[in-house]
Structure 1
Amino acid sequence: MRFIPSTQFRFLCFILLITSIFSCKNSREETDPVVVGGVTVLDERLELTLMKQHPDIVTPIGIAVDTQDRVYVLESNTHLPPKDYEGPDYDIIKVYEDSDGDGTWDKESVFAEGLFEGLNIAFSPEGNLYVVTSKEIWKFYDEDGDGISERREKLMAFTQPKQVYAHAAILSITFDTEGWMYIGRGNTGAAHWIVEGSDGSQVEGYGDGGNIIRARTDGSELEIFSTGYWNPFDLKFDNYGRLLVADNDPDSRGPNRLVHAVKGSDFGYQSFFGGSGIHPYLAWNGELPGTLPYAVPLGESPSGLLNANLARLPRDYNDQMLCSIWEESSIVRIALEEKGLSVTGSTEVILQGGEDFRPVAFASDSEGAIYFTDWVERVYPNHGKGKIWKLSAKENRDLVERRYQYDFPKPNKNVEKFQEILSATSDFDQLLEQLRSDDPFVKHAAVMALSNERHWENLEEAINGESPAIRLGVLLALRRSNHPKEGALSGKFLEDSDPEIRNMALIWIGSRGLLTQRENLEKALVVGDFNTTLFETYLETVKLLEPEFRVAFENKEEEVSKRIPLKLPDNFIVDIVRDPSKPTQMRGYALKYLENPSAEKDLLLEFLDREKEEEVLLEIIHTLADVPDKEVANALLQVSLSTNRPINIRAECLSALSRQPDEVWKEIIPLLEVSNENLAIAAARYLRAKSGEEAVKLAMERVLNDGSSCDSEALRQQLMLALYQDSGERPDSREIAQWESLLEGPADPDRGRRIFYSNTSLCSTCHAIDGRGGDLGPDLSNVGKSKDRSALISSIILPSQEMSPEWQGWYIEMKGGTRHEGRQIDVGYDDIKLYTQAAGFVQVEKDDIADYGMSENSLMPEGLAQRLTNQDLKDLLAYLESQ
């Protein structure tokens, strides 16, 4: 045997160790992820098992596990069932049990049935199963422990409205360790709602957002704990007693979000102001003072939450949450970290399925196995499919410290600090100083404490303090306090030097209907330079203080609050536009609110002729685009030809000209050969509709073949598409990653805006941005926050691949052969209403209908990309991303 010196031996061992590590690493990297039933397990330390599937279980929603590890599953049969649904006309709670411990369920029973629109289930700390339906909270009793309920008790219920939409009603439930249960309530579509508890206590709202309602576990002592949600589909406590809520987003303001709900918190949404989520009185990420930001952005349609420490998972899952992302067919882990007195974090996908994987709710057993339900198909109505899965760690080592459902929260100095500020009762100066904090949760706790009646006198004295942060906090505290002099107090803030404070004063006055300040509102606009945010808030406040509206709103004359007309006084906008004493920017910005721009044609043309401010000019041009008139067309033409006007304004006039009836195309031809790329592109796009005309064709070919005048690739693409319908070689529509690569590179959002409003793309026919456009599709004013670049590309290239259920298309086939297509279908006993692009709401009698149903394809037509060049698509994406 040959002797190896110790140093050489150690070196050799080191080399072998390193080689082994890299070999193992490369081996792991090269190993394909495990796929189980079409679901990819992206964390190799986890294993996934299919426990049950249709026809044994159909459309499962809620899931819970009892102390004997029996798994309870809420099977839905009443969730918008289609007319040909073959299942029972009630929901069922099924129980599954592994009696011999071999990992499979060998016993099945029915715990309870006869439920309607069941949505969630959970066991209380006392061991009773609570069931959430769209309208009620039920407590079920299994007194002999055999897994079959002998009786049930209704603890809470909507007494109003009589009818609710299941996805905007009571949605979720959880319990703390102090005898409270927390209920997630959806926004009820702006209807007047009342929920009554077992002791007769009530909470109600009219046009507010969704809420977290808190009550004792016997259904008594109801109170609104937190508000400002869209639809809070699940809520769970973390290890430190923080209540985390998974909230879906409005139609046009995202992302979906995980929020940290605290007492009195407001997360910014109110259904009265519409489903888009876009309104000066609304916020989504703490944009308005008095609202709180979200903790973590989530993917589309988060449905269920689970504290990872309740499961048997690898150690790095400690203090994390799991979340099911229904729309994106995935489950993510949410890594949380402290941020001030709250948390922030990020997500990572651990399970990724395909079109037939729609995870919903979670539960874990005493061994740490996770069970979750799978709706399977991405349609809301019951469809007869469903699955139940089990997820757990492969190895029983190096795992998280297990906790159990109702363990007392672990100590946390930030949670304790929040409660300390919130409960402060006497130290006014210290609370006032905390209003300067950069932490919104510190400020919220201080505002809550300051709103107590014992501080009212001191708050009045602090209104004129030197610090804007303190003055703003004082405003928020007074607004929350229900001070008897709030009308006079709110008016004092209208002339504050800080525009954010004046903006919040307007919101305070409008939201509370403080009519004594109606004549003073304009004061908020005259301190400092013109501010578009203030102006928009001002207009909405004027509407809210209209006497006719106030009477109807306060008397709840409409069951649904947003049906009450909310409008400005007659000629209000016209008077602003015509008043030369108003700032020019205000008059220009007011143009977008003109109800009848044609009636103000002369004034608009005068504006166009003399205005120099580009931002105001753009509003004038956008308004004139919708005024079909020979004189208007000529004025737009002259600006587009004028070498004294900015290029951006000339190009915008060309875009507006395309929506004018008069044909002035011959005079546009010379603009194809101008040296400025953007102007030449705008001319080429305008002339595309006339590319069959010999003069246009020859001019385009001349520019295309002249290398010196066509050194712009973007212009070349525009001409090629106009002449030969050639958009170049492109990937298959399903290869989104390749489309992303193709559409990389420089882009111009100003050109993208012109594309959005052009007759080429037709985007603005159905979508609006900043108040201009149609309403058949979602408002895109905040789409840059709601969707990433990949999702934007996918929605353009494959509009039918991921259709949000809120924007599901429907069709009605009439017996006479007529076909209506639209959204927002309302099926009554005798008739059907459908919202269409061409005619608004269409109402037809059922007796005249041959068939109706959901459209397989999106209302957004396929083939948009074929009408645009690659550079057009880049520019359009840049514009959308800028929103």
Structure 2
Amino acid sequence: MTSSVSPRRAVRLGLALALGGSLLGLTATRQTGLVHTVNILLDSVLTDAQKRLPENALRTLRAADGLEVTTFATEPMLQNPTNMDIDERGRVWITEAYNYRPAITGNPTTAAGDRILILEDTNGDGKADIRKVWYQGPELNAPLGIFVMGRKAIVSQSPYVWLFEDTDGDDKADKKTVIFQGIEGDQHDHGMHTFVFGPDGKLYFNFGNEGKQLLDASGAPVKDPDGDPIVATNKGKYKQGMVFRCDPDFKNVEVLANNFRNPFEVAVDSYGTVWQSDNDDDGNKGVRINYVLEGGNYGYKDEMTGANWSAKRTNIEPEIPRRHWHLNDPGVVPNLLQTGSGSPTGLLVYEGNLLPEVYRNELLHCEPGHNVVRSYPAKKAGAGYSASIENLLKNEGDSWFRPADVCVAPDGSILVADWYDPGVGGHQAGDQTRGRVYRVAPPKRPYTAPSYTYADPEGAVLALMSPNMSVRFKAWNALTSLGDKAVPVLERYWRTSQNPRSRARAFWVLAKLKGRPYIDEAIKDTNPDIRVTGLRAARQTGGDVIGYVRQLANDPAPEVRRECLIALRHRTEPEAAELWTTLAAAYDGQDRWYLEALGISADRQWDSFFAAYLRKNADPIASAAGRDIVWRARTDAAVPFLARLATDESTDLNSRLRYFRAFDFQSGKAKSEALVKMLDGKSAPQINRLALLHLDQAFVGSNPVAKTALKKMLAGLEGSEYLEMESRYGLPEENPKLLKLALSPPDDNLGRNAMSQLLQQKGSGLVQNVLNGKDENQIRKALNALRFVGMKESLELLQSVALDKKYTKSVRQLATRNLGQSFAGEDRILALLREGKIDKDYIPYAVQGVANAWRKAISKEATTYLGGATVAGKPLPKVEDLVALRGDVKNGVKLFAQNCAICHQVNGQGADFGPKLSEIGSKLPKEAQYMAILYPSAGISFGFEGWEIQMKDGSTVVGIVSSKTETDVDVRFPGGGSQRLKTSQIKSMKQQADSMMPAGLHENMSNQDLADLVEYLVSLKKK
């Protein structure tokens, strides 16, 4: 008898026997551990190409104890899955993204467009054996969301949200309707994301910070319940990413919260509690999980100005992950959990019974940046929550595992869609042909889809209890259609079920069908979660909200009182202010969730609410709770108390910084008067400085007391502190001091910034006087201060020296080299070379000045004027050849310092310009690292795009815009320098198509050097 066992299978069997003989007779846990060990050892005999094969997909995947992972589908059945849903029959629906970002990736596309697939297991073996293309069209380009509703599906792809429909039941969509449009972020990961179905019969969805607006099918702005257009602006009502709720007919859209960066997917539990994750600016370890407090601001940008989180502000958070979300600012909702680095994607609340207890009723979440699917067990903490992390599915050896979405099947098992790629999206795709779907369930559990008789109330209510969203959607519609016939069965679940989440689901249908009688019951329920649900239902059904809040205002549960506060938001009944005061009296001075609920509740009514509060609290700052409420308030009546707290010398200054920061969230005459009063000449210098910083800039210029205080303060400041204040207020009389700082700065960046500010304040004449002088040392200092500025005036000053024969040779060499040290200067150098205006002896200095130009064509053309032979750029090496090389980490450290540290930081070392790379090895494998080096424009990290800024004076500034407000634009430059520009002096801003990272690094490095550099980069992982 001959054996047909493959070599790979033989190795596996041999390893298993060597590790302890047959797997028979071992417990499931020991079997799993042994197989996992075998798979790890198997890695040593597989090539990289073999490791990527579908049959090896499970070799390094590890499910949590009590669970096993199996493959439901792999390529070639699907490719590049971005989102997934599972219908009531257990069929898996996939949105694909073969045509993902071709303009950046350079990957091929298909003119037929991307696909929506249905994958089906027809023989019950837990693996898909049929694939149907439900829809394919040229308008589909990397859709990011799908929610299946029987024969219909909502498909999200900026700038559209479509409703697709299969009208004849042949499993092919033949009708398409535009639901929303005008959403920005076309072909962008930060645009519109998927829809989910809530227990209240409503739809929930979100978009990232590229979405910016929501238009209806006709192109008209969608308005919120207050009648305001839903549009994100720097100083408007809404900012950045948002989460929404609407009726099932897509009407009555509400913005539940705003000011996120890129929330990928929203999740809603049976009580109507909303959750989502959010991505940070890459490299700042600020990825977070959020409980969505309705009406909340989540702090990605400054609430009042729209400034970026990195902009200087009083009481700034010392830790970057907290600073990233403005967590010290009044009016920012705290985070449930900060998880560090990552690239968060699909999210759900698991309300099934098949998985182990630790995962039940908890969030399940995909984190492709760390190759893991996690759970976040949450506990109530005052009016909010705390959470921890439990891994559900982890890949411990293959960094290509990129879980994009997670869904619950009708049988309660979990399915995970795997993008499977060397990168994590972010405008990159290293592989177009692969994609997987995995199933996680207890061992040996067959994949099934229970059937329900939706036309029968008993069957429909049973379906409503399903852990699968599509089943619940179908059940909801069946029950609402049955109407009174469904009430007895719903009542039985509502009143007798031992599962409070089952009770909540039945209650929601009853509340929508019959209203007040059931809401009255819920409000009086012994379970605080049900009381919360009852109040939410009252708000949605137009019930007696004020009456219910009156009943619950002294509820012992903080989460119920929190919900009372949310219910009072924008309520104008006379009793609302008194109820708010009652609820404010329960604040303990520690619960930030509760404090933010108080602030959300008082929105647009702070004057009346705070007045009612003062009637019962004449001296609110006598208690910690009152001090917090004053800090959070937005009313002139709070300003005197805020001023007392800010100037209370019995408290150390660091503790008072929060009160000075709070002035930034006030407006009007009372604020200005209170701050000017601090400028009485008796206050300490630091108090004067803080008072000036928090006055409006226009006010300081027009108020004699403030202006005198500013001049006095500037006289006593030096260095960066002086420049910060002068740049803010721009007093021309300070030009001589600016010149002095520019010529003798503590560092180059400060000198450049001082020179830039001087030129903005019409101080070029002072610089010209230095250049016309006889002190060559001063002349050289001026030339060095001018080199990075890039303004029209700075270029003209440098050029005048470079071409003027009256200067010494060394001065002209310096001026010629420095002329090419800015973006606009590079162009000026080329123009002079083309026109033959640079003397032959100075051409090498001109070429040296543009040698590190971001635009490689500049330096290449410049070298042609040297007159000698030039070496053409080397062809790009093949990624597969580089991956095959073994690198040396120690040499990679040296190469990084020489070539990369001018723009990137690792563990705080290097220049803060491009993305931080301290954990880049956890995010990108070798293949993606090489792609980033060889083709930098193919994967520009969001937030690190280059901008060309044309100034009104004709000069050009190019860099990364780190912050933008109505008055200022902060720009960062390679090397870590920065410059603040006034928007009033900017003519236009244009985003660059190419990366700010120079191409052609390979030209000065051998293939082995590249391998050493990448070996070091992949070693930089989360500890």
1:56-85 Cα offsets, whole Å, 9 max, x none, are 423221110111111111123554223662
Cα displacement (A) at 1:496: 3.5
Change (3 A) 1:420 1:594: closer
Contact 1:64 1:122 in 2 (8 A): yes
2:723 alignment counterpart = 591
Change (3 A) 1:793 1:625: farther
Which residues of 2 match residues 807-822 of structure 1 at below 5 A? none
Change (3 A) 1:501 1:372: same
Which shifted more, 308-317 or 520-529? 520-529
Identity, in percent, stands at 16
Cα displacement (A) at 1:97: 1.5
> How far, CA to CA, are the matches of 1:62 and 1:214 in structure 2?
20
Contact 1:493 1:502 in 2 (8 A): no
Q: 2:88 aligns with which of 57, 62, 67?
A: 67
Cα displacement (A) at 1:395: 2.0
1:430-480 Cα offsets, whole Å, 9 max, x none, are 42333333121122223334555763431455584233644454446642x
1:589 maps to a residue whose letter is: E
Q: 2:385 aligns with which of 338, 342, 348?
A: 342
Q: 2:265 aligns with which of 196, 213, 234?
A: 234
2:222 alignment counterpart = 196
What is the aligned residue count?
Answer: 677
> How far, CA to CA, are the matches of 1:98 and 1:167 in structure 2?
31
1:388 maps to a residue whose letter is: R
Q: 2:144 aligns with which of 119, 122, 142?
A: 119
SS at match of 1:327: helix
1:466 maps to a residue whose letter is: I
> How far, CA to CA, are the matches of 1:578 and 1:844 in structure 2?
32
Which residues of 2 match residues 683-698 of structure 1 at below 5 A? none
Cα displacement (A) at 1:230: 0.6
1:423 alignment counterpart = 564
Change (3 A) 1:228 1:162: closer
Contact 2:58 2:71 in 1 (8 A): no
Cα displacement (A) at 1:270: 2.2
1:58 maps to a residue whose letter is: Q
> How far, CA to CA, are the matches of 2:624 and 2:678 in structure 1?
18
Structure 2 stretches lacking a partner, 5+ long: 1-25, 43-50, 315-322, 448-464, 473-500, 506-526, 533-556, 566-575, 756-775, 782-810, 812-882, 948-957, 962-970, 980-985, 1010-1015
1:577-622 Cα offsets, whole Å, 9 max, x none, are 98445695798623356669999898599999xxxxxxxx997998
Change (3 A) 1:309 1:49: same
1:48 alignment counterpart = 69
Contact 1:530 1:585 in 2 (8 A): no
2:436 alignment counterpart = 388
1:493 alignment counterpart = 642
Change (3 A) 1:374 1:148: same
Change (3 A) 1:626 1:111: closer
Cα displacement (A) at 1:224: 1.5
SS at match of 1:183: strand
> How far, CA to CA, are the matches of 1:466 and 1:586 in structure 2?
36
Q: Is residue 130 of structure 1 aligned with residue 130 of structure 2?
A: no
Cα displacement (A) at 1:94: 1.3
Q: 2:588 aligns with which of 436, 443, 453?
A: 436
Cα displacement (A) at 1:367: 2.2
> How far, CA to CA, are the matches of 2:336 and 2:679 in structure 1?
34
SS at match of 2:598: helix
Q: 2:394 aligns with which of 341, 351, 371?
A: 351
> How far, CA to CA, are the matches of 2:202 and 2:140 in structure 1?
25
Contact 1:357 1:376 in 2 (8 A): yes
Which residues of 2 match residues 289-368 of structure 1 at below 5 A? 289-298=330-339, 299-310=341-352, 312-340=354-382, 341-348=384-391, 350-352=393-395, 354-368=398-412
SS at match of 1:148: coil
1:497-533 Cα offsets, whole Å, 9 max, x none, are 367998677666656764775576455788976669x
Cα displacement (A) at 1:324: 1.7
Change (3 A) 1:103 1:197: farther
Change (3 A) 1:306 1:790: closer
1:276-328 Cα offsets, whole Å, 9 max, x none, are 65453975273223212212223411011133444843343334333222233
> How far, CA to CA, are the matches of 2:886 and 2:725 in structure 1?
41
Change (3 A) 1:734 1:137: same
SS at match of 1:350: strand
Contact 1:267 1:283 in 2 (8 A): no
2:233 maps to a residue whose letter is: Y
Normalising by structure 2, we get a TM-score of: 0.53
Change (3 A) 1:627 1:267: closer
Cα displacement (A) at 1:175: 2.6
Change (3 A) 1:326 1:474: same
Cα displacement (A) at 1:181: 1.9
Cα displacement (A) at 1:263: 1.0
Normalising by structure 1, we get a TM-score of: 0.60
Q: 2:131 aligns with which of 103, 108, 116?
A: 108
SS at match of 1:434: coil
Which is richer in strand?
Answer: 1
Which residues of 2 match residues 29-40 of structure 1 at below 5 A? 36-37=56-57, 40=60
SS at match of 1:806: coil
> How far, CA to CA, are the matches of 1:836 and 1:283 in structure 2?
20
1:807-847 Cα offsets, whole Å, 9 max, x none, are 77999xxxxxxxxx9989xxxxxxxxx99859999x999xx
1:317 maps to a residue whose letter is: Y
SS at match of 1:42: strand
1:156 alignment counterpart = 180
> How far, CA to CA, are the matches of 1:22 and 1:78 in structure 2?
42
Cα displacement (A) at 1:419: 3.6
Q: CA RMSD in A?
A: 6.3
SS at match of 2:559: helix
> How far, CA to CA, are the matches of 2:898 and 2:694 in structure 1?
34
Contact 2:147 2:154 in 1 (8 A): yes
> How far, CA to CA, are the matches of 1:259 and 1:143 in structure 2?
39
> How far, CA to CA, are the matches of 1:103 and 1:90 in structure 2?
29
Which residues of 2 match residues 329-728 of structure 1 at below 5 A? 329-340=371-382, 341-348=384-391, 350-352=393-395, 354-377=398-421, 378=423, 379=425, 380=427, 384-395=432-443, 403-405=467-469, 406=472, 408=502, 409=504, 417-423=558-564, 425=576, 426-451=578-603, 455-459=609-613, 461=615, 462=617, 464-467=619-622, 469-475=624-630, 478-479=633-634, 486=635, 490=639, 493-497=642-646, 510=664, 514=668, 517=671, 521=675, 539=693, 542=696, 579-581=711-713, 584=716, 589-592=721-724, 623=750, 630=777
SS at match of 1:204: coil
1:234 maps to a residue whose letter is: E
Change (3 A) 1:514 1:120: farther
